[in-house]
Each structure stands twice: as structure tokens, then as C-alpha cells.
Structure 1
Amino acid sequence: MNEIKNPIIPGMAPDPSILRVGEDYYIATSTFHWKPAIQIFHSKNLVNWRLLTYALSDKDVDLQGTNTPAGIWAPHLSYDANQKKFWLAYCHVQNMAGREFNAESYIMSADQITGPWSKPQYLTSIGFDPSLFHDSDGKHYAAVLEWETRVGYQAPGHIVIAEVNLITGKVGDWHRVTTGFTTRGCVEAPQIYKHDGYYYLLLASGGTGYAHGVEVGRAKEIFGPYEPDPTGEPIVTSSPRHLFSLGNPDAGHFEMYNPQSKLQKSGHGSLVETPDRQWYLAHLMSRPLPGKKLNPLGRETSLQKMRWNEEGWLEMADGSNLAKSIVEVPAEVKQDWQFFNIDDHFTNGHYDQRFMTPYHGQSNEWVQVTDEKLLISGRNSFFSQVSPSIMGTRATSLNYDLQTKVTFHPKHYSETAGAGFYYDANNWFYVRLCQSDNEKQTVLRILQAKQGKRIDYYNDEVVISNEKVELKLHYELGLATVFYRLAETENWQQLAKQFDLSYLSDEGVNGEPGEIGGFTGLFNFIGAVDAYEHQSFGEFEYYQVTNHL
């Protein structure tokens, strides 16, 4: 056996759905307001994971105007061995105001994990976090959370199951099977597994914060009745102490922070069996900044070794329910963290597929590779939830450098290009080339958005006479320092002070009213703005992210 360190997929990789087909493992994760939507990672050994593809094409979903933290939630991967097809269920949360949580769930299929995927087929609007189960008798079932809006009823609602015809998309009667198997409440993300004659229903519970966990029940019939795990507690969590939270539809539960755990918020898991009949659970978790309950990297993906005990219940391999930072895996393979560095010089007419864009898709109307340079045409300001010209990648470490070289020729004070850190339209940090206020020269200046407030550091600008600059942004434990140089032979010069950007985290941003903030995570980006005539563009020679672990 070989020991590896969690997380296995650092950075924004929440709600992992793990699947093995043959010798290949796949994990699908949520992407919220980012496109391309639904990341699918691949591994041969459970140790090293690479981004393989995205499931939703630009035309499949419109995310313009999406408020934090709505968008694409909780994809669920499955494989129908009879039809030899991959299936993907997901939901598009379109509104969270008033805690209505209006969501549309869809299913789609493909012969290969890389697609092409079928056109998304509407499933239901009853709630969110759908999953599919393919039974051995050829029948198929969907499970989902039925969102509760009535006053005085168990929130957030029932877990419901229905038979579904995958050819026609027709859904049978929904059967309410449980409101949870522990007192933590806030159950969601139902997933069905079959083992030794029982149907096992795996649920996320305790809310998306520090009380998060994975709980389980089982039944002889798929519609129940389901009996809860006899421990009465989650089978995986970061905070094992007892919590009674029934009726609380969701909460950060900051009081459940466990200072003894390296992983926080462990929950929302899915099961996989290896070829040699070992069991693992992939689950989300977070890593707060030291001394703070702020999580810049959002919810990441970790792995736990599991076992079936003598009574037929699923539990962690060590018999506890505390999520571990170190886990044993079968493969004698070295964990390679270099996979998460990026060094893209835009060769062969392509840019790295890890680039994502908030709210809208990438097209050659605003981003293209020419002569081994990435050209980004400016459009809306970064406060826009419609079409900001941002090419971003997930931050995957709490200590790293972002580096790029940009050439830009602004003709108007509304034209800019540069690099920075981004969470959503109300929260970002942007180092950009722009016109000076007197419109006579090009300068390097910092612009910041903090919970919707615009902050322009005009007193710290420096003149860039040749309109070309190399930038290095150092991020360490929530603090950022900006460096620049005009030639590779020059030493790096610091621009302005050190900045506290710890608010660019799930808990530090201003999400929908009633929510703790966001559920995504910090991104690094290069981009451009043109609120003048949409004709200017930034010219980027390379994009580099180097993690310091």
C-alpha cells in the first residue's frame, strides 16, 4: 500500500462524483458560474488526477446574470453496463432569492466520457442534486432533494426517488424516503448503491459548512423503508462531535470548526470500488487560512478508504468517522503535485484547457491565439455578470506565484488589460495597464472590488512608457504582493503595499442573502476591459502559475 496526501484535487473541485469503468477512474465536480461547465477529471490510480474534459458545451447552458453561488451544481456520473453508456445528471440553480432555490435538473449520456454528450434532457424542477442509479434488473431510478418551502416543515426537505425511463425521459411517481439519518439535518445530494442485497442511500448532511458530513441508510427495497446507520452519526465528517440541527435548512455552523483536523467541511461524498474490491469515498473538504475560518481555495476533493463491517454497514477503514489528511491507496505511485502548475506559452494555436470564464463562454470573438500570443479583447467591466473578458484558472495552493507578460495600447481611460485574482463579479483584485487620468501616458495601476465596492489605487501607479510589462503576483496565505519589471534583465520591483485578500474566499464574499457567501473558490486570471468601443485587446506572451507546497 502507498500513502498519499489529501486533497487529491486541490482548488475548486466541489461535490465530487467518482466513477470507475474498467481501469479508469473519473471524477465530475460542480462549476457554478464558471464555463466550460462540469469539470471531469481522470486517473488511472486514484493518486494523480488531470482535467480531462468538460461535459457541458457553451450552447448547453446560459449562465449570464448568475448570482453567487448559483449555477451548475452537483453533477453525478454513472455508467449503464447494459447499454455501455456514461450518464451524467446535474442541476442548474437559477434563483436562490428568498431561499426558493429554483433549479432545473437534467440528464445526458455519451458512449465515451469525452463525449459527444447528448443534448441535456429535462428531468425535474422538484429540487436539486439529482443522481441516477442503474439497477441490475435493467430499471433506472433518479434520486433528488425535494426542496421544502412551507413554514414549519422539516427543512430543507425530503429525499425522493422515482423510476425514470432514460429513453423517453418520463419520470414516475416520486417516493419520499427520508429527511435524513442523523440529527444534523440539511440532507441533500442523494446517491444510491447496491451491495450484498441492500440498497444503500448515501447523503450529504449538516449543511455546506463546518458541520458537513456523509451519512447513510439502507433498505431491502429501493423505495424503502430505509433504516439509518446504527451509529446515528455521519460516517465521514471533519467534526465528529454530536450536533442537533434538524430544521436548519443550511448554515456555516462555525461552532463546529474542529481545530484538531487538517481537513474541514468534509462531506458530500460518493463511493467507488477498485478492481481488487477495495472501497473508497471521494468527498469535498476545505482548508482554512491559519487562524481564520476563511477558505480561499473553496471546496476541494479528498479521498478516504472505506470498508464494510460485519453488520454490513459502510464505515471508514480505521473504524472512526474523522476525515484523514493521509490515506492509503493500492497503487505504488508517487503523488505528483506538479500536475497543478501551469506554464502555457500558447503554442500550436491553443491555450491550456484549464482556462475557465465566469458567466459566459469562450469564443474567438474575444479570445484567440495568434503568433504564440493570447489576445484578449476587452468588453464589460469585471463587475459584469454578463460578459467579462476573463481567462481564469483555479487557485490550487495557498502559496504560489502568478506570472505573465502583457502588451497593451489603451486609447481611452475605459480600456485596460492585465492579471489578478478573482472570486466573482463583486470580489476581485486586478493589476492592469491603463491610461493615466490625464490621458497622456500608460500606467500600471491596481483596481480592487471588495463586496461590490470599487477601490482604485491611483496613488501607487507607475508609468510604463513602452506599454509592455511583465507581472508577478505572489499569493501566500491570503496576502498578495505585486511585482513588475520592464525587461527580463531587470530586477523585480514591488508595486504598492502588500494586500490582504483573504476575503476572496467562500466566507468572505457577499453571496445571496441568507447564504454564508459563496461555494466556488479563488481563481487566477488574465483579462481585459473595454467599456469604450470593444476594440482594444491585451496581448499576453505566457501564463504561468507556480505552486510552492
Structure 2
Amino acid sequence: MTLIQNPIIPGMAPDPSIIRVADDYYIATSTFHWTPGVQIFHSTDLVNWELLTYALTQDEVNLRGTNTPAGIWAPHLSYDSQTHKFWLAYSHMQNMAGREFNADSFAISADSIQGPWSAPIYLTSIGFDPALFHDEDGKHYLSILEWETRDGYQAPGHIVIAEVDLEHGGIIGNWHRVTTGFTTRGCAEAPQIYHHNDYYYLLIAAGGTGYAHGIEMGRSRQIFGPYEPNPTGEPIITSSPQHLFSLGDPDAGHFERFDPRAPMQKAGHGSLVQTPTGEWYVAHLMSRPLPNKPLNPLGRETALQKMRWTTDGWLQMADGSNLAKLTTPAPSDYSSPKQTHTADIHTDFTAKVVDHHFMTPYHQQTTDWVNITEHPEHLRIYGQNSLFSQFNPAIMGTRATALTYTSQTALTFHPTHYSQTAGLGLYYDANNWLYVRLCQADTEDRTVLRILQAKLGERIDHRITVDIPDGHVALKIDYHDGWAQVSYQLPQQAEWSVLEAPIDVSYLSDEGVNGEPGEIGGFTGLFNFIGAVDAYQHVSFADFDYYTVKNYETEDLTHE
């Protein structure tokens, strides 16, 4: 029996929404303050996945100034078999201060998964995590969390359902409050509707986005309910199967549920898909922490669990438990011996377009600051704001996908002002990063290599410097379990030289950063990046020869 190895999509790929159209599977995931917005992955076998495209590529949303962890949340992908259209619903979380959680939700559509996508249709601002359901009678329904702000009321609120007008936008009729959760874990969110054997099934996330996360289920003969809960009274998938009562807790990390022995944590927020041969799977988010630490640098990743229907019509994991595993049986018709995908990245910029794995925080990639044509076979990046900026940082980043890896580049840069820099780094958000960069010496008479760091918004300028006489150098960061070793190689050198002792960067993780007050930090994930800064005239540029990320994760993924 072939086993699927989880995560199927490593690195920042949370809140997966999975569908199948004919023989193709697609998963959409959240992107928060990163652009392009909404990653869409593709597979033909549920085992091997690749990044296919993005949905929000034309400045449909303005993410400048976005605080961690707001931005684009929980996209829901669906396919209307009657109109043969793909639909994507998403929330733009704009404010989390005061736990008000102001989000606008929209829907876009396309005839092809690769677009072009329509202009956004406004749906509601009642809460977040919208999902569309296309019923057999041609009606469309929206399910979403209604965010509760009143003192003394069940937080975070009700799951609500309403008929929706997908032609003009907006809600038809009234919202129907259907549940605040199907177990005692509380924090019900991310509702998704499915129809199976005369029942409407409501799949929801529960327990908060932390270590008590899980997936719950209820069912009803009518789409507006009433919904009866799964008779087990427990989640159908979780990393923390012990009974938990946390009603009234609007959201929590539940650090008491952290299991230092478990390689998979936080399993929850899932969606359901059926294969052509009638097998069932749930795609869900998960995290892999640093060894013996409740810190998750890679953010929330995507995993799969094989499911089955019980004789009394309830969904459960194929092995009869509710504990998420790092392996699950592949579909019965899968014939390849093993997974073949890799999360390694190598680009030498010889193509006519920039590698689509690159993402940028807070604003779009535009040719006025990043291009691949001005210096052929190089990526040219013009410096913009400092890396502390939430508006226009000139960063080209890729998701970190392993707990041990090497990122590497070579660049040429000639700063003429002390505010001009360029280099390689690790990035979580504008307050938390590590940047090894070419810059002017403090005496403004030569180019040097130094490390600049941001930790919880504090600027830390490392004093060790190395002269770079001709402005060209290769840079390398070896990342291992939360530690970063920075090395460099000058053109005349045969070997790499270490710049300084390894740096503790374990804080570049969901739990280690300073997100909105009242939150546990963030829930996005670590990125590797190349970039440039010019707070002088925005005219300096760096030419990058190549960009490589090589993963060296060696732990046995079949260990449970």
C-alpha cells in the first residue's frame, strides 16, 4: 500500500480548500500579507502537488499597512457544475485591534482555474471564513462565521448560512444562525457545506488556531438546519484528541496541549473531496514545531487524511481514530512507487518571467522595482523602503518548507549612500527578520557585508563587517532548527567563509513574533528572500545571479 507523506504542501499553506474537477485536484490556501494573493496548487493523484497559480494578481486588494496576522484569510474554492465556473470566496481581514476583527468577504469566478478571474463581488462584512455551496436546484449559499463582539455572549460567534446572489453580490433573505460548534472545544469557524446521501453536512474548524485545533461535523436534512452534532461529541480530526472544554474562549493557542513528542501539531481547518473511484479525503492544516519547542517556523502547512463513511452516515478517519497522522493511504488507483515532488527551488533567471514561487509582502511585484529584462540572466531589484516598512519593501521571497535547509544567492551591488543595501535573508513580517546585506561602511568609503536583524520590532545591527572590494559576493544562510549560520564567498575564494557565529532565529515563527495585541503572535510562516533597500532616492539596484533553496530535512516522516 502506498502512503501519502504529510505535509503534502510544506511551508505556509494554511486553511486548505480542496476540490476535484474531472481528474484534477486543486487546493487554495491563505496568503495573509503576501502577494500575489491566494495560492492555488494542483495534483492529478492527491500525492504529488505543485504550485499552479494565484487568484489575486491585479491589485484586487490593498495589503499595504497590514498588521500581522491580518490580510487574505481562508479562501474557499468551489466549482459550479451547472455553469462550469470556478468560484473563490475569501476574506480580507483589515483590522484585528480590540478583537473587532473587521473583514470584508468577496467572491470571484473564472472559467479556468488559471483565470482570468472576475472582479471581486462583495458578499458581507459579518465575519470571516466564507464558503460557497452550489446546490442541485441552482441556488447558492454562503456559510461564514458571524463574529461576536458583545460581552457575555458565546465567542467567537455563530456559524451562519444565507442564500447568496452570485450575479450581483449580497445576501438574499436573512442569515440563519445554525451553531456555535458541535463539541465543547468552542471557537467554531471556517464552515463548509457538503451534500451526501440526503444530508447537508457542515464541516467546521474548532478549538482555536493553536494546539487544540480540530475539525468538527454536524448534519441536517435542511440546509438551514437544525444541525445535529456528530454523536462522538469530539472532533473528527485533531492532533489533540483528549477531551477539551473551552467554550467561551474566543481563540487560544492552548499551549497546554502541545505534545513535544508529536511531529504533527495543530491539525484542523479542513475540507472534503471525493476521488473518481469513490474514496474520500480531508485536506487540513497542520504544523511541525522545532524540536521540543512550541514554536512553528514553517507556519501552518497542508496535510491529507483518508476518510470513510460509517454505516450510520458519519465521516471518520479511515483508521477509525481521530488523531491526524503524518502518513495516510494513497488512493487505490495510485500506481507510482512514491511521492516525486520536491520543495527545492533553483532559478538562474534565464527565463523571460520571474519564477512564480516568489512572493512579496504588502504590495505587488511591478516592473518599476523588480524585473528580469534590464540585465539579461539576472534579477534586478531596485531598492525601496526599509524592511521595517509595511508598504513598499523590495522583497522577493519564497516559503521556507523544511526545518533544515540552505538558501543561497550571488549579487552585484554598488551602494552610494548609507541607506542603500541589498542581500539575502529570512523574513516573517516587517517587525521580524534577518538580513545579510551589502552596504556602505559607516565611514562611507567602501562596500562591506554586515547583518541587520529585527526582533519584535527592535533593530539589531551586528557590528562584524567584511570588505567587498568589487561589490560582488555569494551569500549563504544555513538554517537548522531555528538557528541561522551566515556565510559568504568572494570571487577569488574557493571556499565559503563564516561571517559570524550562528544566530538564534527561532523567534521567526508563528508563536515567536509580536502580532496584534491579544493574539498569540502570527500564523503565516517563515520566508527566505532576496531584496534591496534604498531610502535615499529609490534609484540603486542589485543584480542577482541566481537563487537557490535546498532542503535537507532527514527525519523519518513515517514515524508517528
Q: Bin the TM-score by the shorter chain.
A: over 0.9
Corresponding position of 1:341: 344
Q: Could you tell me how far apart the structure 2 residues matched to 1:488 and 1:397 are?
A: 32
Q: How do residues 351-366 of structure 1 correspond to structure 2 at under 5 angstroms?
A: 351-366=354-369
Deviation by residue 1:243-269 (Cα, 9 ceiling, x = unmatched): 000000000000111344321000000
CA distance in 1 between partners of 2:337 and 2:226 (Å)? 44
Secondary structure of the residue that 2:202 maps to in structure 1? strand
User: Which residue in the other structure is 2:516 paired with?
Assistant: 512
How far is the alpha carbon of 1:57 from its aligned partner?
1.7
**Distance in structure 2 (CA, Å) of the matches to 1:337 and 1:482:** 30
Of 533, 539, 542, the match for 1:535: 539
DSSP-derived class of the 2:98 partner? helix
Residues in 2 aligned to 1:540 and 1:259: alpha-carbon distance in whole angstroms: 40
Aligned residue number for residue 11 of structure 1 = 11
Alpha-carbon contact 2:260-2:293 (below 8 Å) kept = no
Matched, 1:405 2:410: yes
Deviation at 1:305, TM superposition (A): 0.3
Q: 1:239-318 counterparts in 2 under 5 A?
A: 239-318=240-319
Deviation at 1:349, TM superposition (A): 2.2
- Taking a change above 3 Å as real, the CA distance of residues 334 and 389 of structure 1, as seen in their structure-2 partners, is farther
Bigger mean CA offset, 259-268 vs 536-545: 259-268
- Cα pair distance change 1:20/1:338, threshold 3 Å: closer
Secondary structure of the 2:62 match is: coil
2:499 to 495, 498, 504: 495
Give me the whole-angstrom Cα distance separating, in 2, the residues matched to 1:405 and 1:338. Answer: 26
Determine if contact 1:11/1:297 at 8 Å carries over to the other structure.
Answer: yes
**What displacement does 1:291 show?**
1.1
| C-alpha distance 174-488 of structure 1, shift in aligned 2 (>3 A) | farther
1:26-41 paired onto structure 2 within 5 Å: 26-41=26-41
Structure 1 segments, 4+ long, off by >3 Å, are: 334-338
Deviation at 1:136, TM superposition (A): 1.0
Equivalent residue number for residue 221 of structure 1: 222
- Partners in 1 of 2:399 and 2:384 — Cα distance? 22
Matched, 1:443 2:448: yes
Q: 1:494 to 1:336 in 2, by over 3 A?
A: farther
Residues 338 and 140 of structure 1: CA distance in aligned 2, closer, same or farther (over 3 Å)? closer
**Corresponding letter in the other structure for 1:516:** I
Q: 1:183 to 1:303 in 2, by over 3 A?
A: same
CA distance in 2, matches of 1:337, 1:414: 44
Task: Give the SS at the match of 1:67.
Answer: coil
Give the whole-Å Cα distance in 2 for the aligned partners of 1:314 and 1:155: 26
Q: In 1, distance between residues paired with 2:341 and 2:224? A: 46
- Letter paired with 1:266: A
Who is 2:54 aligned against? Answer: 54
- What residue is the counterpart of 1:350 in the other structure? 353
Offset of residue 169 of structure 1: 1.7
CA deviations over 1:396-419 (Å, ceiling 9, x no partner): 011100010011000010000000
- Taking the TM superposition and a 5 Å limit, the aligned residue runs for 1:140-151 are 140-151=140-151
Aligned letter for 1:357?
Answer: T
1:77 Cα deviation (Å)? Answer: 0.4
CA distance in 1, matches of 2:182, 2:255: 22
- How far does residue 332 in structure 1 lie from its aligned partner after superposition? 2.4
Aligned partners of 1:47 and 1:333 also within 8 Å: no
Find out whether 1:179 has 2:180 as its counterpart. yes
User: Partner amino acid for 1:81?
Assistant: S
Question: In structure 1, what is the Cα distance between the partners aligned to 2:442 and 2:216?
Answer: 58
Residue deviations 1:149-178, cap 9 Å, x none? Answer: 000000000000001121122312100000
Could you tell me how far 1:333 is from its partner in structure 2?
Answer: 2.6
User: Match of 1:387?
Assistant: 392
Match of 1:195 in 2: 196
| Kept in 1: contact 2:370–2:379 (CA 8 A) | yes
Give the counterpart letter for 1:186 in structure 2.
C
- Which residue in the other structure is 2:429 paired with? 424
**Cα 1:488–1:40 shift into 2, 3 Å:** farther
How far apart, in 2, do the equivalents of 1:315 and 1:260 lie?
Answer: 24
Deviation at 1:335, TM superposition (A): 4.3
Residue 204 of structure 2: SS of its match in structure 1? strand
Q: CA deviation at 1:522?
A: 0.3
Contact between 1:271 and 1:279, CA under 8 Å: does it hold in 2?
yes
Whichever residue aligns with residue 247 of structure 2, its letter is L
Q: Secondary structure at the match of 1:255?
A: helix
Q: TM-score, normalised by structure 1?
A: 0.99
- In structure 1, how many angstroms separate the alpha carbons of the residues matched to 2:220 and 2:53? 36
Distance (Å, rounded) in 2 between the aligned partners of 1:195 and 1:334? 32
CA deviations 1:260-283 (Å, max 9, x no partner) are: 432100000000000000000000
How far off its partner does 1:473 sit?
Answer: 0.7
The percent identity for this pair of structures is: 68
- The secondary structure found in structure 2 opposite 1:119 is coil
Alignment map for 1:6-155 (pairs within 5 Å) = 6-155=6-155
Give the secondary structure class of the aligned counterpart of 1:58.
coil
Question: How far apart, CA to CA, are the structure 2 residues paired with 1:189 and 1:363?
Answer: 33
Corresponding position of 2:328: 327
User: For 2:479, which of 470, 475, 479 is the aligned residue?
Assistant: 475
CA contact (8 A) 1:35 1:58 kept: no
Please list every run of 5 or more consecutive structure 2 residues that lacks an aligned counterpart in the other structure.
Answer: 554-560
Match of 2:557 in 1: none
Q: How many residues align?
A: 548
Comparing 243-252 with 164-173, greater Cα deviation is found at 164-173
Answer yes or no: is the 8 Å Cα contact 2:484–2:502 preserved in 1.
yes
Asked if the contact 2:121/2:166 (under 8 Å) is kept, the reply is no
Letter in 1 for 2:515: G
- Matching residue's letter, 1:252: G
Q: Distance in 2 between matches of 1:9 and 1:275?
A: 22
Whether the 8 Å contact between 1:105 and 1:130 is mirrored in structure 2 is yes
For 1:98, what is the secondary structure of its paired residue?
helix
What residue is the counterpart of 2:466 in the other structure? 462
Superposed CA deviations along residues 121-174 of structure 1, whole A, max 9, x for unmatched, are: 000000000000011111110000000000000000000000112112231210
Describe the SS at the equivalent of 1:381: coil
Shift in alpha-carbon separation, 1:387–1:313, aligned structure 2, 3 A: same
CA distance in 1, matches of 2:438, 2:404: 25
Q: Distance in 1 between matches of 2:336 and 2:167?
A: 41
CA distance in structure 2 between the aligned counterparts of 1:528 and 1:295, rounded to whole angstroms? 27
Q: 1:434 to 1:260 in 2, by over 3 A?
A: closer
Q: Secondary structure at the match of 1:430?
A: strand
CA deviation after TM superposition for structure 1 residue 44, in Å: 0.5
Give 2:556's aligned residue: none
CA separation of 1:488 and 1:156: change in aligned 2, threshold 3 A: farther
Deviation (angstroms), 1:339: 2.7
